[in-house]
Each structure stands twice: as structure tokens, then as C-alpha cells.
Amino acid sequence: MGMYQIFITAVLVGAVSFFPETAEAAVMGPSMQKLTWHYYKVYNTCENAENFIRHQVEIVYKKDKSIAPKLLRLLYSDCFVSGCDASVLLEGPNSERMAPQNRGLGAFVIIDKIKIVLEQRCPGVVSCADILNLATRDAVHLAGAPSYPVFTGRRDGLTSDKQNVDLPSPSISWDQAMDYFKSRGLSVLDMATLLGSHTMGRTHCSYVVDRLYNYNKTGTPSPTMNKSFLSEMAKQCPPRTRKGQTDPLVYLNPDSGSNHSFTNSYYSRILSNKSVLEVDQQLLYNDDTKQISEEFAASFEDFRKSFALSMSKMGAINVLTKTEGEIRRDCRRIN
């Protein structure tokens, strides 16, 4: 058993304490300790807030399963930029959602619907930041992920600036990806786990064509990419030769496809050199993340448990609480 397989086992045994009604502070980072388990029940401000959110997510999910990866991407785009403060939801010509890296962001409509329901039942109480975190958890759970605990009590940010959006290209190296995750207080296990979100959803061909035709500016395809998979992808993503050319969407995990199901097949594809994005394939070229990928490919349950922990950690990045920020009445604009 490798070092990281032993480490993963230890972490996941400790994760059991994460699932009872009271969370152990031992597994919570400083930022997470600012939040509260069932905040709206504990403080009697909106006892059924989580039930209202879950019900709205279930209604939308029945019609559109792509809501799960869309919410995951929206939450990542929020938390990794200025912290989980719902700043990505704010509208404006220079807001975060206008940054090039956020092209194609979706799921804003479901957040708006949930907010309208909660404002009718508990006006001015439930933050957009908490709605985004809870709705994402409920949607990915319907897709097959664990229903991990979301600690609440976040407040909403007052600013949103596209200049602050430093989300990296999906063609970055392993070292660059690791530095980026570390800068957000996340570990190598968190990175390998959270990239597993790419087990569902879609991406634009423009993020893939360099692997297919001009890997590292060599004018040739990625030498490690499985040859039959390379041919499949080339059919879906022609070379980008002219400005204004259409930019088709492809599935991040062809095994999940239009079902958008949360599985561990993402890791099996990494081990077979069949990743769509370079950042995903890079997990194979580091001993630690290779061992983690092997572990998760072999055990869906280990992936699910690690995902629960890493999502909770991500949801606590630079949160606003108490008197910081505000509780927006409309998620698209400040009060």
C-alpha cells in the first residue's frame, strides 16, 4: 500500500466524525469553524431553509440533470476567486461573471428561483452564498455524490470585479495546479478529489484543441493521449483555424455523457490516458496524485468520502460571517 493510500484511509476513517448531527471541530479548518451546522435551525431564523432549497433543486433536476455540473462549476468559480461570498452571482459590466474564464457559466436561474421562495418565507435571512453551497450539495447528491454536510451562516459579498478572476487554464501543469490549490488552503488530496468533479459536465473544444493539435506548442498532439481517444476527440473538435469559428461543447467524461452522473470513471480514464483536459491527465504524472487516482478508480466509496471532506473545505474558503457583508434580497445585486 502506497503512502497516499495509507493517508487516504486515515483521512476517511476520520471523516466518519463529519457525518453525525454534531461535527467534530478536529476536522474543521479555522474558516469552517466560523460556520454552523444547521445555522438557520439553530438560530430559529428560517427552520426549513434547507428543505425549501432541496425541494426546488429536485424540481429542476428532474427536468435538467446538467444542473449538477453547472452548480459545481458556479460554486468553484465563486469560492476560488474571492471566497465563498456569492460575488460571482452579482451582475454588472465588470463583474466576475464577465471574465473570460467564466464564459458559459450557468445555473443562475435556479439560484434566483430559490432566493424568491426563501424571501417569501423568511425575508432577509438566508444568504445567496449559503443557497449556492446548499443547492450544489443537493444537486450533486441527486447525481450520485454523497450528501455531505454543508455548514452555514455565510454572508454575501458587496463587490465583484472581473479583474480578480484568476481561475487557471485547464492546460496548466501539475505544479501550477498544485500551487493554485495550495494558495486556497487546499491539499494535494483535495486537488485530486475536487478535479474529480470533471466526472460530469461539458467543456468547450477551445480548451482541448491544444492537446489534439499543438501540445506545448510542438505542432503535434499530446504524446501520452490514448490514440483511439485522440481520434474520437479530433472528430468532435476540429482545428481552430479562423476567427469566429464555432466552439463545440464536448463531455468532460464521455462515460457519464448526457446522464451527468457522478461516478469514479473519471479516474479510470486518467489511468488509461483518456482524460479530456490536460489538467486532469496531469494527475497521472505525479506519484501522489497517481496513487490517489488508483485508489479512487478502485473504490468509489473512498472517492465519495474524500469528495465530502474536500467540498466542505472548499465551501469554507474566505467566508464572510456575523456582521461582514450583507444578506442580499436579490442575488444579482447588492441591497
User: Catalytic residue numbers?
Assistant: 73
DSSP 10: H
Q: Could you tell me the sign of the dihedral formed by the alpha carbons of 101, 103, 107, 108, in that order?
A: positive
Determine the Cα angle at 184 with ends 16 and 140, to 5°.
50
The CA–CA distances, whole Å, from 17 to 27, 31, 205, 314, 317 equal: 8, 18, 42, 18, 21
Helix, strand, or coil here: 269? helix
Q: Tell me how crowded residue 254 is: count the other CB atoms within 10 A of its CB.
A: 15
Give the amino acid at 38: H
C-beta separation of 83 from 155 below 8 A: no
CA dist 177 and 172 (Å) reads 6
CA dist 312 and 317 (Å) reads 9
β-bridge pairing 202-204 and 249-251: antiparallel
CA dist 188 and 232 (Å) reads 31
Cell of 165: 478572476
Helices H, strands E: what count in the chain? 14, 4
CA dist 170 and 176 (Å) reads 11
Side-chain half-sphere CA neighbours of 314 within 13 A:
31
174's CB contacts (< 8 A; 6+ apart) are: 282, 283, 285, 286, 289
